[in-house]
Amino acid sequence: MFTINKKLAICAIAVSAVLSGNALSAQRIDLQQPLTFSADSPNAQSLLSATQGDTYQASMTSTAASGDERSRYQQLYQGVPVYGASVVATRSAMNMFYDVSGSHVAKIDSDVISTSPSFSLGEAMQVALGQGKNQLNQDQVYNVESQIYIWLDEKEEAHLVWLISYVDTNGAKPSRPYQFIDAHSGAVLHHWDGMTFAQGTGPGGNQRTGRYAYGDRYPAFEVTGSGSSCRLDSTNVETHDMNHQKSGGSIHTFPCYENTSREVNGSYSALNDAHAFGQVTFNMYRDWYNKAPITQKLKMRVHYDRNYENAFWDGQQMTFGDGQNTFHPLVGLGVVAHEVSHGFTQQNSNLAYENQSGGLNESFSDIAAAAASYYLEGSFTWQIGDKIKKGSGAMRYMDNPPQDGRSIGHTRDYTSGMNVHFSSGVYNKAFYLLSTTQGWNIRQAFDIYVKANQLYWNANSTFDAAGRGVYNATKDLGYCVDDVLISLEAVGVNNSGAKDGSGCGPVENQGPDANFSYSANQLNVTFNDSSTDDKAVVSHEWSFGDGGASTSANPSYSYAAEGSYTVSLTVKDAEGLSDTKSMVVAVSEGGEIPGTCDGVSAWDVARSYALGDMVSFEGYQYEAIWWSTGASPAVYTNVWSKGAKCSGGEVPGNEAPKAGFSHSANKLVVSFSDSSTDDTDVTGHAWNFGDGASSSEVSPTHTYLAAGSYSVQLTVTDADSASDTMTKVVTVSNGGEVPGDCSASPWDVGAIYSGGDQVSQSGKEYRAKWWTQGESPADAGQWGVWEFISDCQ
C-alpha cells in the first residue's frame, strides 16, 4: 500500500489530460476518462513538478476482478488533506496504474498562500461553540472532532479550514453541527447539521409485529455471563439502558439467561431487539465482506430520553428512542442496520449529510436495512418503517418513493436543499430496480453499493458522480454493467458508463447445498430441511438408515428399534445438480445408546437446536434455552443451561483455574477486584498484600500503613484443589502519586478498552476515545484512538 512517502504522479497525468485554459484559482477536476501510465516513467516524473506540493496517500485497498491491487488515494496538499478529493487506481504487478478515476483539485496554490493556520484550533472551537442560540463550552458537548482541510467553496475558491463537529443534546432534540471555519480569519464559511436520524424498517417485537422469542423465531443473541448475572455485552456489541435520560446509562444486566426487561410503548423488549439486531448487522458485514461495519465496538443506547420518536448515529454510538404516538420503540432490525451503516459511510466515503450527498448517505443506510433483512430473513418488504410505525402504512417506499407524498424517485424532481430523507428515494428506487432484475438479488446489489462507498464516493458526491462509482464497482466485481446502468438511467442518473455487456454472460448454474436438522422423541424423529440453492430445490430424497425412505421436504419417521442410524438427504435443483448431507441419528426407548451420555445424544456442531433440546457434552447434560447452531455448550452459557454429570460420554480432566485481578488506589487505601476464571468455579481466594497482611475475601479492600511499593499475590483454588497464582506490584502514597509513578495501569496489548479508559505507557498517560484493542498509544498519532493526557509525575 502506498503512503504519503511514495509520491504518485496520478494527479499530474490526470490533470494534464483534462485541464484546459489557464485558471487563476483552484479548480476541481472530475476524472472520467480511463488513464494508464507507469509511476516510474520519465513523463510522469516531469509532470509531477507541475503540481508541486500535491501527494496522494492510499486510504483503502481491495483486490480488483483481475487480481490487481485497487486503491483509493486521498489527495494531500503540503500534507493537508483536500476535502472530497480522492482518486481510485488499479496497480498491476508491473507497477502500471490504470483505470484511474475520481476527483482532483488543481491550482490550490493560487488561493492558499500558507497551510500553517493563523487561527488556532482552540480559537476555532470557541467560534464553533458560539454559533447556536447560546454560547456553549466544551464540557456541554461530546464527541468533539476536528480536522484541518483544504476545502473548495461553491465558487471553487480554495480555503484552509478547520472542520469541527460535536454532539449537542442541550436543545429540544440532539444535533451534530458541522462547521468549516477559515483557519486564517476565523470566519464560518459553511455549516450543516450532520446528525443522521432515521426511521427504520424490519421485524421487531411490538404490538404491530406481534411478540416473538429469540431462540425460537430468531437465533439467540450473545451475552456475557458471570455466575447468575448476565450483561448485554458481547465481543462486538454492547447495549446500554439510558433509563429515559439523555446522558449516562450503563450496560444492561439481568438474571441469566432470559432478559424480560422491559415493556415500553407497545414493545416487549427494546433492549433485546437492539442488542440482537446489532449482532445481526455486525455479522452481515463480517460474513459478506470480511469487515466490521465500523472500527469501534457497536454501542447501542436504548430508552433514550422520554417520548423520543427517532434514532440517530452521532459519530460514536447508536441511540434509539422509545417513540410516542407515531412509533413503537425504534429498535427494529432496519433501524439498527440503518444507524450502524451511517457509521460505515462516515468511516469510508464520509458523504456530507446535506444536498445530494446527504440523500445518497440516507439511501445507503436504507439499502443496508434491506440487506440486513435479506441476510436474516431471506426477503424484504421494500418498505421503510412498516414494522415500527403505529397504525398502517410505512414511512418510505423503496419500490415507489413518491407513495409517501414527499420522497422523489427521479433526479428531475430534486430541488436544492431538499430533505435528505426524501431525496434518498432516487437511489432507493435504483437499488430496488437492480435487486429485482432477473438474475440479481439484494446481496449482489449490496455488494456493488458497499464497494462504491468504500472506494468511489467522496464527501460531496452528486447523484451522477455516485452513479459513476456504482458503475466502476460493478466492473471491479465482474457483475453485469448493463443491468446496473439500466437501473440508474431509470431514475435519471446518466452517463455513468458504457453498456459494453461486460459481466453479462450466461450465469452458470450453482448446485444446491443440502442440509437438515432433526428432533427426536423416543423412536419418533421429525426432520427439517434447510437446504439452499441459487434458484430453488425441486426434489428431496431421504434415506433413514434402516431401509425406510421419503420424498417429502420435512418428513417424520418412526424407527422400529432403538439404535444409531445414518440418515442421508439428497436434494436436486431444476438443472439436475445434486448434493447429499448425512448425519448420525440416535433414538432410544429409554435405555443407553452407544455414543450418548445417560441416553442423551452428544452435541453436534452442525445441528440446529431449539428451546428444550437436550445434549451431552464433556460429561455433562445441557438443556437448550435458546435456538442455536454451532454454539458450544461449554462456551455459550446464554444458549445452554448446564445440568447434571452423566456417564457414557467423554469426561474431560479438570482444568486449573486462572488467577487474575485489578486494583485501584486512593492514597494508602487499595481496592482489589478479582477476575479469576475456572472451567467450573473458583472456590478459594488467598490474598497476600506484601506487608504481612492477608485475606480470603473475593475482592478485598486493604489499607497500607506507609507509602511504597508492595508485591501483592493472589492464589485461587477450584473444587478439585487445582490452583494458580498471580503477582503484581502495587504502589501507594500518602498524597498524590509516588514520584516517577503512573496512576493509570500499563497498556496491555491483549486488553479491550472502551471510551474513557486510561492507561500508561513509557512514562505517559493516555485516554481512549473509543473502543480499541491492540493499538499502541505511542503510535496512535493526533487522530488516533488514544488521547495524550500528561506525563507521569
Which cell numbers hold the place of 436?
429485482
Cβ-contact 43, 129 below 8 angstroms: no
DSSP 179-225: EEEETTT--EEEEEE--EEE---S--SBTTTB---BTTTBPPPP-EE
Cβ-contact 557, 492 below 8 angstroms: no
Q: Is 618 a catalytic residue?
A: no
Domain 510-591 class in CATH? mainly beta
Domain ranges for the chain, please list them: 10-110, 121-193, 199-404, 510-591, 596-652, 661-791
Percentage of the chain modeled with pLDDT above 70: 82
**661-791 shares the fold of 199-404:** no
Flag whether the pTM goes above 0.75: no
Distance CA 676, CA 618 (A): 22
Q: Is 342 a catalytic residue?
A: no
DSSP 309-364: --EEE-SS-EEEE---SSBS-S-SHHHHHHHHHHHHHHTTT---SSHHHHHHHHHH
Which CATH code for domain 661-791?
2.60.40.10
pLDDT for 647 equals 61
- In the predicted structure, residue 356 carries a pLDDT above the cut 90: yes
pLDDT for 374 equals 94
**What CATH topology corresponds to 121-193?**
Nuclear Transport Factor 2; Chain: A, (3.10.450)
- Bridge pairing between strands 224-226 and 600-601: unpaired
pLDDT for 664 equals 77
Q: How confident is the model at residue 195 (pLDDT cuts 50, 70, 90)?
A: low
Which one of 3.10.170.10, 1.10.1740.10, 3.40.640.10, 3.30.499.10 gives the CATH number of domain 199-404?
3.10.170.10
pLDDT for 20 equals 43
Catalytic residue among 240, 303, 421, 685: 421
Q: What is the pLDDT of residues 255-271, one digit of tens each?
A: 877 777 778 888 888 89
Cβ-contact 57, 3 below 8 angstroms: yes
Distance CA 393, CA 373 (A): 18
Catalytic residue among 309, 339, 354, 765: 339
Domain 10-110 class in CATH? alpha beta
- Least confident window among 80-94, 110-124, 631-645, 702-716: 631-645
pLDDT for 24 equals 64
pLDDT for 183 equals 93
Q: Mean pLDDT throughout 302-312?
A: 90
Cβ-contact 355, 386 below 8 angstroms: no
Question: At residue 244, what is the residue type?
Answer: H
**What CATH topology corresponds to 596-652?**
Seminal Fluid Protein  PDC-109 (Domain B) (2.10.10)
Give the CA distances from residue 252 to residues 114, 402, 636, in Å, rounded to whole numbers and listed in that order: 51, 40, 18
Distance CA 109, CA 80 (A): 13
Distance CA 705, CA 676 (A): 27
Cβ-contact 686, 676 below 8 angstroms: no
- Bridge pairing between strands 318-321 and 298-304: parallel
Q: What is the pLDDT of residues 477-512, one digit of tens each?
A: 999 999 999 999 999 999 999 999 999 976 566 778
Cβ-contact 143, 166 below 8 angstroms: yes
